[in-house]
Amino acid sequence: MKRVLKWIGIIVGSLLGIVVLVYAVVAVISAGRINRTYEVSADFALSVPDDPERIAEGQRLYTIMCQSCHGENLAGQTFADLMAGRIVIANLTSGEGGIGSNRSDEAIAQAVWYGVKPDGSSTILMPPEFNQAVNLTDMENLIAYIRSVPPVETTAAKTRLGPMMRVMHVTNQFPVVTAEHVALDSPPLSAHASQDGSGLGKQRAAFCTACHGTDLTGDPIGGPNITPHETALGTWSQDDFVRALREGLRPDGSAISTEMPWETLHFYTDEELHAMWAYLQTIDPVARDVE
Ligand code: HEC
Ligand code: HEC
């Protein structure tokens, strides 16, 4: 009996040892990748406006794309738990603890488009999809809005990743280190590229890829497949699509959960929704996995 217990002890001990060792390797690899620095070689020139119309347009885009993380007052937020670690979403205002007072317009744009901070380090957990979703004019409007809001003070804290985030990082299950996921030499999209409706549609749908997957065929921890296959949105009409994004209702009248952020997506204009719908008709239809 004693011998059996001893062996069980040895086996459990070795397994624990292996887990600790594997995690140590994961932590070292992850830290190495987080500590890398990056250089953006793409060129861009901004001219940030200060007229009320473009500030209001910036606010509309902010509400759709940024508010869920950076908050209604732009002060950001901090989450902490044992597995995820401490995740700090930046305060964008010019208040103490905010980046608004010590970032140039270009530095803000560079962080959003390329995930690279002024010191060359990557932003952590700032979504990479904005590289495609925010065109040059959008960026100018967004910065104009960010510059217009009242300062909010926050205590500065740094993100510290917990074990779950580090494993997701090292196994590439989630874009943790933003700059690893964008082409640092590709110039920002221009709003002119969007003058034919499908260009605008593609730019706006780039934001949906953050949850619905890069090719919109769905993401297990995000949203479902929204390609034009008959098992996905193939049987929907444009009106059905507009209703889903404005009111959160499917064609059969059932409610789409607010994990799908339709409450803010309803700020898309008719023109944007129609362009997005037209674009969705042009992507490869892929069958939805049966749940
Ligand atoms: C999914 C959540 C999320 C969304 C959506 C998001 N951000 Fe962020 N953002 C973050 C996190 C997290 C950080 C902190 C990154 C860091 O400090 O490493 C951050 C940091 C920033 C920074 C500061 C970068 C620096 O130089 O320190 C700016 C500027 C910014 N975000 C702008 C935006 C804008 C504009 C949008 C909308 C177009 C947006 N963010 C949408 C999560 C988000
Ligand atoms: C923050 C994550 C997120 C973003 C961003 C997002 N979605 Fe979703 N979406 C979801 C989730 C989650 C669901 C599933 C909701 C449910 O099951 O009730 C969903 C469901 C949907 C549905 C309903 C599909 C069905 O068959 O029931 C449509 C249509 C849709 N999204 C379109 C879009 C479009 C277009 C965009 C971009 C403008 C977008 N979504 C952006 C998370 C997101």
Could you tell me if residue 94 is inside a domain? yes
CATH (domain of 106) = 1.10.760
Same domain, 249 and 150: no
Nearest CA to ligand 1 atom 8: 126
Is the shortest distance between the CB of 254 and ligand 2 below 6 Å? no
Same domain, 138 and 218: no
Could you tell me if residue 95 is inside a domain? yes
Could you tell me if residue 21 is inside a domain? no
Same domain, 133 and 164: yes
Is the shortest distance between the CB of 108 and ligand 1 below 6 Å? yes
Q: Are 249 and 243 in contact (CB under 8 A)?
A: yes
Same domain, 178 and 123: yes
Same domain, 150 and 63: yes
Q: 161, 189, 217: which is the final residue of a domain?
A: 189
CA angle 271, 274, 60 (to 5 degrees): 45
Sign of CA dihedral 259, 264, 267, 272: negative
Same domain, 133 and 101: yes
Q: How far is CA 131 from CA 22, 85, 127, 145, in A?
A: 34, 26, 9, 19
Q: What does the longest C-alpha to C-alpha distance in the chain come to?
A: 82
Q: Are 99 and 92 in contact (CB under 8 A)?
A: yes
Same domain, 133 and 218: no
Same domain, 165 and 264: no
Same domain, 88 and 205: no
Q: 160, 189, 218: which is the final residue of a domain?
A: 189
Same domain, 58 and 164: yes
Nearest CA to ligand 1 atom 27: 117
Q: 134, 168, 189: which is the final residue of a domain?
A: 189
pLDDT at position 192 is 79
Give the pLDDT confidence of 5-36 residue by residue, as tens digits.
899 999 999 999 999 999 999 999 999 999 99
pLDDT at position 3 is 86
pLDDT at position 191 is 85
Could you tell me if residue 40 is inside a domain? no
Is the shortest distance between the CB of 68 and ligand 1 below 6 Å? yes
Could you tell me if residue 28 is inside a domain? no
In the reported structure, the alpha carbon of residue 139 is separated from the centroid of ligand 2 by a whole-number distance in angstroms of 24
Q: Which of 245, 240, 239 is nearest to 266 (CA)?
A: 245
Mutate to test the pocket of ligand 1, among 126, 131, 160 (most ligand atoms within 8 A of CB): 126
Q: Are 219 and 211 in contact (CB under 8 A)?
A: yes
Residues in the chain: 291
Same domain, 111 and 233: no
Is the shortest distance between the CB of 184 and ligand 2 below 6 Å? no
pLDDT at position 196 is 65
Same domain, 99 and 216: no
Could you tell me if residue 25 is inside a domain? no
Domain that holds residue 200: 195-280
CB atoms within 10 A of CB 185: 11
Using CA atoms, how far apart are residues 67 and 65, in angstroms rounded to an integer? 6
Q: Are 135 and 194 in contact (CB under 8 A)?
A: yes
Q: Are 259 and 206 in contact (CB under 8 A)?
A: no
pTM of the model: 0.94
Could you tell me if residue 30 is inside a domain? no
Using CA atoms, how far apart are residues 99 and 104, in angstroms rounded to an integer? 9
Mutate to test the pocket of ligand 2, among 125, 174, 204, 212 (most ligand atoms within 8 A of CB): 212
pLDDT at position 173 is 87
Burial of 163 (0-12, 13-18, 19+ CB in 10 A): middle
Tokens of residue 209, six digits: 């890829």
Give the pLDDT confidence of 210-230 residue by residue, as tens digits.
999 999 999 988 999 999 999
Count of domains forming the chain: 2
Q: Would you give per-residue pLDDT tens digits along the chain (291 residues)?
A: 788 889 999 999 999 999 999 999 999 999 999 999 999 999 999 999 999 999 999 999 999 999 999 999 999 999 999 889 999 999 999 999 999 999 999 999 999 999 999 999 999 999 999 999 999 999 999 999 999 999 999 997 889 999 999 999 999 888 999 999 999 999 999 887 776 666 899 999 999 999 999 999 999 889 999 999 999 999 999 999 999 999 999 999 999 999 999 999 999 999 999 999 999 999 999 999 865
Mutate to test the pocket of ligand 1, among 35, 61, 69, 101 (most ligand atoms within 8 A of CB): 69
Tokens of residue 199, six digits: 């260009």
Could you tell me if residue 34 is inside a domain? no
